[in-house]
Amino acid sequence: MPKAGDTLWDIARDEVEKRENNGDDGKRVEVWEKSVLFMGSKNGGKTTIILRCLEREEVPKPTLVLEYTFGRRARRHNAPKDIAHFWEIGGGTSLLELIRIPITVNNIRSFAVVLVLDLSKPNELWMTMENLLQATRNHVNKILAKLEKTDPEVAGEIKQKMQNNLQRDHPDYDLVDPFPIPLVIIGSKYDIFHFTSKSEALLLKARALINHLAFGYDRSKSVSVDHSKPLFIPAGLDSLSQIGPPPTSDSNIGKMRANTPLELWKKVFEKTFPPRSFSDLQDSKDPAQDSQYAEYEVDVMRAQKNQVCACSAIALHSQEFEQYKKNASKSWKEMDFDPD
């Protein structure tokens, strides 16, 4: 039971220490501890999915920077509760450098990523996906490179685990470069395209999927590859032949230069939905000015610092002006003026 004054980190630490507790049968019960990073389109519904997964009846607030929360679940009665750490990066693609904070060498074996893409903004969708996944892949690959030197067995285990999602007899085995850690891509706001909302059923399905990543619940066995309905495709249960070529004429496909099927799909997609420039997707709003992050003591010190900086700038400008006048005076004395 949390004690008065306990911080979030105190509670999480106490839960981890319960690894030494015994189960009902007298045997040691290990507490699972997993981490999930949510990222994707700005205002795409990431917070809503997290709250539904944790069964919290709260009104979601916009996530501007990087937020953390956690959830606990018991696999059986009186057993220690497993812990799931939930991280969420806000701002769409404007905060790529924050990806390296939650994903570390210490938790890479139990980490998963959930990418949420707003289907109602197709002109931003592909670039958002590409930039976030590439930044995450680069960071994870750096961690794996370090592990290969310090703990090659673990590095090999992680790589093999992801490779196993695709059976060797899969028709696309040689074409696919698996993402280095578990990845789920969710297309949000699907109900916008239908006159009857199916968002509740889809949220329940998303919740079950997140619970699998976070708490090890059984994975859903349902599969839906019918593009006229909400898609639900577990890893390795689809193929390029089933997806087929992009919807464009054969003559146009022949003119497009692409090395892989994914590149071809990207060219056709962006021809239909011209992408916004990367700079347009950057969030220029200063999170420090947002009222939901207001903290009196911090804000007062920040205001004082800004005032000192402003005064220093004024003093610096005054010194520069005085120096300018001295230099100008010297140059004037050295000039030969026309007596007329």
Is the confidence at residue 254, as pLDDT, over 70?
no
Is the confidence at residue 340, as pLDDT, over 70?
no
Question: What predicted TM-score, i.e. pTM, was given to this entire model?
Answer: 0.73
Write down the mean pLDDT value for the chain.
79
Which range, 9-13, 73-77, 266-270, 305-309, is most confident? 266-270
Q: How confident is the model at residue 291 (pLDDT cuts 50, 70, 90)?
A: low
Q: Where are the domains of the chain?
A: 12-281, 293-319
Q: What is the pLDDT of residues 12-36, one digit of tens each?
A: 666 666 554 544 454 444 557 899 9
Is the confidence at residue 288, as pLDDT, over 90?
no
pLDDT at 145: 94
Give the pLDDT mean for 218-230.
Answer: 84
Selection from 52, 75, 69, 138 nearest residue 103 by Cα: 138
pLDDT at 303: 72
Is the confidence at residue 336, as pLDDT, over 50?
no
Selection from 284, 248, 280 nearest residue 127 by Cα: 280
Q: What is the pLDDT of residues 149-177, one digit of tens each?
A: 999 999 999 988 888 888 888 888 888 88
Which range, 16-30, 224-238, 321-335, is most confident? 224-238
Q: Going by C-beta distance under 8 Å and a sequence separation of 6 or more, which residues neighbour residue 27?
A: none
Is the confidence at residue 246, as pLDDT, over 90?
no
Q: What is the pLDDT of residues 312-326, one digit of tens each?
A: 555 555 555 556 556
Q: Where is pLDDT greater, at 275 or 11?
A: 275
Q: How confident is the model at residue 339 (pLDDT cuts 50, 70, 90)?
A: very low
Report the SS3 class of residue 277.
coil
Tokens, residue 158: 């992680």
Q: Of how many residues is the chain composed? A: 340
Q: Are 87 and 68 in contact (CB under 8 A)?
A: yes
* Percent of the chain with pLDDT strictly greater than 90: 27
Q: What is the pLDDT of residues 33-58, one digit of tens each?
A: 899 999 999 889 899 889 888 888 88
Instruction: Report the CATH fold assignment for 12-281.
Output: Rossmann fold (3.40.50)
Give pairs for 217-224: CB < 8 Å, separation 24+.
none
CA distance 150 to 252: 50
Selection from 234, 258, 236, 229 nearest residue 245 by Cα: 258
Q: How confident is the model at residue 280 (pLDDT cuts 50, 70, 90)?
A: low
